[in-house]
Structure 1
Amino acid sequence: MTVAQPKQAAGITWRHLLRYAAIADLLVMAIVGIAVRDKEALAFAAAILVGILFLRIRSGIAGVIMIGVLSLDAAVFMLPAAASNSTHRGRFVDLLIPLSLAVISVSGALAAVGSVFRHRLPETSGRAAAVVLQATIAVFIVALIAGTISQRTSRAEVARAGDITVEMRNTAFLQKTLSAQGGSLSVAVSNHDLFWHTFTIDALHVNVDVPIGANRRVTFNAPPGRYEFYCRVPGHRAAGMHGILTVS
């Protein structure tokens, strides 16, 4: 007597999509981290690698959860970064990096959810994963075209002679202390990090969003005193992203 075999999922599986997204995240983060000397990107790549290795242990659920959480975390940062960078006329790579990571991370997070619940809908699991993969490619292409067009019609902001310069890298301000004469001040801020940041001085009502790879310039009046500047992105100030502006 022939025993009927359970119906196999058609097409790519959620676990396959998860593995592909994780490998893509790993490669992009590692390459970018090495290229721009970004410690957080390299640490993220290492964590993704651990998640991929965990996929091979028993049911692999630990790897699924780990990659899913990391993907969601990256998507939360990279989606707004890609959106803000699309309106800044800078280098093409400054749009491509966050956009690629955003799309890859979203697909990874969806694949993780699909992997956890795949047993509930075994007959449609493969088709759903294939649809997500196709949608990911389509969204990436459309967003890349739209972002490129937006970049061409945006206005760039560059530093001028006499500006105070501030650089951001590895979730830190490279200049921790700034000094200036009282009156009208102009600060030119450049972001060399993988995440978008802000240059914020609450006491002077200064708050500037600085996308990945972008340059921003702000002019404000500052009476004599000491003022803290920081990044208002959640967690960045606590991580040490702050400094002091002394106005004499």
Structure 2
Amino acid sequence: MSDRPSDFDPESREDREIAGEAARDRDGFLSLMGHAYRGEMGRMTSWRTRIDRTTNWAVVLTATLLTWAFSSDSRPHYVLLIGVVMLSVFLGIETRRYRVYDIWRSRVRILEENVFANALDPEGVEQSNWRELLSRDLRSPTVKTPIVEAVSRRLRRVYFALISVLVLAWIVRLTVFAASSSEVVDTAIVGQVPGEFVLAAAGFYYATVLVLTFWPGSRQAKGELQSEPEEEWK
């Protein structure tokens, strides 16, 4: 049996907008915001777990490749480059997940700033139109973090260190058995690909990673964390 009232009309404007009554009732509104906060927090936690899972894969892959590549002199050096490519794939997956995660995180921050923070300190209100902003985003969810910023943040947090380790290990693998620079170029050959091209491509890739990691643009994601507290926490 359905719990829907017999007089409920889904085409009726009044019935479709029945939740609007909560906006005029303080207790109903606060109760609704509590449920909304738990729902958005659940979504945020779920996507945070997905991000962490990708990071774990990347760390395990890096550790496995380093162990295998240096376990014998006969191991091919380009396996480490394949690892860099795989890390780039993981970075792309994690960037997409981070941008989706930030949708739910931004909603949680709006509720924390304008409901819970105001309950503790009503004088600290900053956004007067937060209900309109949240309503608009619930009706039409949008990605709020630019892709360059998302890539830069994931590189700074995790992937720049992992990629740097693999690139450094690859350089060591090339130079440790070479007596001169010409031998390094010869050692860098991958199949029919000249060593000069491999070295140039690796250098260009790492330079791009450096630029993206330390991208100077200001953060556009909602709710930027303070690097230092304005007041001492006691």
TM-score, normalised to structure 2, is 0.34
Relative to the length of structure 1, the TM-score reads 0.33
Larger Rg: 2
Higher share in strand: 1
User: 1 or 2, which has the higher helix percentage?
Assistant: 2
